[in-house]
Amino acid sequence: GNSVTQMEGPVTLSEEAFLTINCTYTATGYPSLFWYVQYPGEGLQLLLKATKADDKGSNKGFEATYRKETTSFHLEKGSVQVSDSAVYFCALSDRAGGYNKLIFGAGTRLAVHP
């Protein structure tokens, strides 16, 4: 079945460092891909998405490119801030059952220090 694999955390960075969180997927067909962010004690917020190969999603300085050849959707940010500390989830849409189910990775915790 379809699945998502994220790099294990925690990822610990200093402020203004470059961020990469790896995400690879296994899927039949052409799923849409998403990054969601979860701050402590809160629900998930959509960060960005891409719906087809070579699409680049971007938001708030974060970006990710849908790479079909490597089945990847890595999240990047050029300069992180303390406020970016959160758990980041990669997800794909699975429409095999006739409805849109999101399949999530396990999440990657990011901690940014001043």
Partner 1 sequence: DGGITQSPKYLFRKEGQNVTLSCEQNLNHDAMYWYRQDPGQGLRLIYYSQIVNDFQKGDIAEGYSVSREKKESFPLTVTSAQKNPTAFYLCASSIGVGTQETQYFGPGTRLLVL
CB of 94 to partner 1, least distance (A): 9
What is the DSSP code string of 25-78? EE-SS---EEEEEE-TTS-EEEEEEE-STT-EEEETTEEEE-BTTTTB--EEES
Residues that bind partner 1 (CB under 8 A): 4, 30, 32, 34, 36, 42-46, 49, 51-52, 89, 91, 93, 95, 99-107
Distance, in Å, from the CA atom of 20 to the CA atom of 74, rounded to the nearest integer, reads: 7
CB of 44 to partner 1, least distance (A): 4
In the bound state with partner 1, the residue whose beta carbon lies nearer, of 17 and 109, is: 109
Which tokens in the block code for residue 36? 């969601």
Minimum CB distance to partner 1, residue 87 (Å): 9
